[in-house]
Amino acid sequence: MTPHAFDDALQLVAQGGGRYQGSTQPAWWNMVGPFGGVTAAVALQAIMLHPERLGDPISLTVNFASGLAQGTFTVSAQPVRTNRSTQHWVVTLSQDDAQGVGSVVLTATAITAVRRSTWSANDLPMPAVPPPDNLARTQPPAGTVEWLNRYDMRLISGPIPSRWDGGAASPDPALASLSRLWVRDEPARTLDFAALAAMADVFFPRIWLRRAVPVPVGTVSLTVYFHATAPQLLETATGYLLGQARGQAFCNGYFDQAGQLWNAAGHLLATTHQLVYYKE
Amino acid sequence: MTPHAFDDALQLVAQGGGRYQGSTQPAWWNMVGPFGGVTAAVALQAIMLHPERLGDPISLTVNFASGLAQGTFTVSAQPVRTNRSTQHWVVTLSQDDAQGVGSVVLTATAITAVRRSTWSANDLPMPAVPPPDNLARTQPPAGTVEWLNRYDMRLISGPIPSRWDGGAASPDPALASLSRLWVRDEPARTLDFAALAAMADVFFPRIWLRRAVPVPVGTVSLTVYFHATAPQLLETATGYLLGQARGQAFCNGYFDQAGQLWNAAGHLLATTHQLVYYKE
């Protein structure tokens, strides 16, 4: 059986001392490097593979310092503090330039934890939306970036503008930058923490929706809070997730967006935020 | 003139190589260490003081690995990648134990950037609330933690429960964990990035409001996105900020909250998120 494209991207070869070597995959190519979500997943995967890991991820923040060039890279995942039930990680992803000089292309911090069963609640109930089977798969536009083909997305609201005419999507600021969609890996793949981290980044830049102007953009920082336990991910299995994202503040070259990912049963699996550079 | 208590807390002595020594301040004491917001501000201050800093902060993520013990600490702020207009930082705060062995108590990453003037917008308009002058200062309860006295807070909605009776604050999940308040330093102090980072953490734990049960809690990760330029902070001067926070997901020992800080003119200066440990 051919490995899943997502597993291909996560393939890391241990070099010892928390260092791993991986390589970029054409299947995940975005405009000037791989899809940021898959790169965030690779950073997390180095932690998942680390022999000293304690517990499961609860928090991941990835800062994108530069586009990843095609080829090999090194990820270093260091557990800098291990407590009784939590562990703190610092991750760096670097690449050598033509002269063999290594440059940092990504920094990340993460926390893993052993969870205990406690009182739990969800203050962001899943919005009422049509089920994925009632919606057609949203076809990526012809000639689009490759990684979009790695997901089955079924858009509910807030599409990429069909006309780049500078008209805001909605006069209501609360809706102007809101998108909702069902998403799963294509082909289907059982959900794990790495896949959840990647899906936290599937939303196209809110500023495109907000302005209907295709300004150059790039995520500079992505945070994912994991609210799911490993058994809940297994239960979610290959089901679609409902993703929602909206912009918050757009100011002088950077905007932020807030997002949520629920499984079809309505469990809020992850909340996510990102800060995105935009050009004009 | 006596220095402001916040400036006392930010006092760092350069040791060279991006390392700084500071010490905890009794004026900022929380339950088992200093107020997390002031510790986050100290982590940012090491960047602000660094001679190689490029631009102003746009993003800061602080992971609290352990309570800070009373006494001195070392902060190391390293610019791991400097681009044309952005710079990526890794920060570690550590303390020596009785045997002189250093332990990491905090990790952080941050991005600083030179901003350019661009199209800007705010998709989270400030809610309509009474102005601070129409509200009395909310008196911290007698015998409370010391750092609360460092802020003039004027609560608008979502107070700390007066009865710990296990009753949810509101039957509506959208309001059950929502608080709004005006806040400024006490005594007043002109706003800067470090103060804004600290104020992103002034909200009491959402789970107390949500459940009216005083469970033990501790922030494990805090992210602040700065949407203000340095001139906008100077314009805000010593004015009150409107802070808003609400809980999102509460699951098996960890919940997250999302927050916003506007100045009185309605400019959204910062958005913030945190993940908080809770015991039961």
What is the ipTM metric for this complex? 0.97
Is the CB of A81 less than 8 angstroms away from the CB of B104? yes
Band (pLDDT 50/70/90 cuts) for residue A271 is very high
Average pLDDT over residues B4-13: 98
Q: Which CATH class is domain B5-115+131-278?
A: mainly beta
Cα separation, B72 vs B23, in Å, equals 4
What residues does each domain of chain A span? Answer: 1-114, 128-280
Question: Is-same-fold flag (A1-114; A128-280)?
Answer: yes
Question: pLDDT by residue (tens digit) across B178-208?
Answer: 999 999 999 999 999 999 999 999 999 999 9
Residue A156: pLDDT over 80: yes
Say what percent of chain A tops pLDDT 90. Answer: 87
Average pLDDT over residues B73-98: 96
Q: Please tell me the predicted confidence (pLDDT) of residue A11.
A: 98
Band (pLDDT 50/70/90 cuts) for residue B168 is low
Q: Please tell me the predicted confidence (pLDDT) of residue A235.
A: 96
Residue A178: pLDDT over 90: yes
Q: Please tell me the predicted confidence (pLDDT) of residue A166.
A: 86
Is the CB of B63 less than 8 angstroms away from the CB of A111? yes
Band (pLDDT 50/70/90 cuts) for residue A163 is confident
Which residue, chain included where needed, has tokens 């304690």? A54
> Under a CB-based contact definition with an 8 Å cutoff, are residues A181 and A138 in contact?
yes
Query: A1-114 domain in CATH 2.40.160.210?
Result: yes
Which residue, chain included where needed, has tokens 């804004």? B196
User: What is the DSSP secondary structure assignment for residue B123, as one 8-state letter?
Assistant: S
Average pLDDT over residues B136-142: 89
At residue A53, what are phi and psi to the nearest 5 degrees? -60, 135
CATH superfamily assigned to domain A128-280: Acyl-CoA thioesterase, double hotdog domain (2.40.160.210)
Cα A132 versus chain centre, distance: 20
Q: Please tell me the predicted confidence (pLDDT) of residue B169.
A: 64
Parallel, antiparallel or unpaired: strands B254-263 and B268-278: antiparallel
Q: Which residues contact B71 (CB under 8 A, 6 or more apart)?
A: B23, B24, B95
CA distance A251 to chain B (A): 5
B2 contact A CB<8A:
no
B25 contact A CB<8A:
no
Residue A170: pLDDT over 80: no
Residue A45: pLDDT over 90: yes
CA distance A43 to chain B (A): 15
- Provide the 10 A C-beta neighbour count for residue A80: 17
Q: Helix H segments across B178-262?
A: 193-199, 206-211, 230-236
CB crowding A234-251: b at 16 or more within 10 Å, else e:
eebeeebbbbbbbbbbbb
Is the CB of B111 less than 8 angstroms away from the CB of A221? yes
Cα separation, A187 vs A169, in Å, equals 31
- Which pairs from A257-262 meet CB under 8 Å and 24+ separation? A257/A177, A257/A203, A257/A205, A257/A206, A258/B258, A258/B271, A258/B273, A259/A200, A259/A203, A260/A124, A260/B248, A261/A196, A261/A199, A261/A200, A262/A126
Ranges A139-148, A152-161, B8-17, B199-208: which has the least confidence? A139-148
Average pLDDT over residues A159-164: 88
Question: pLDDT by residue (tens digit) across B256-268?
Answer: 999 999 999 999 9
Question: What is the average pLDDT score of chain B?
Answer: 95
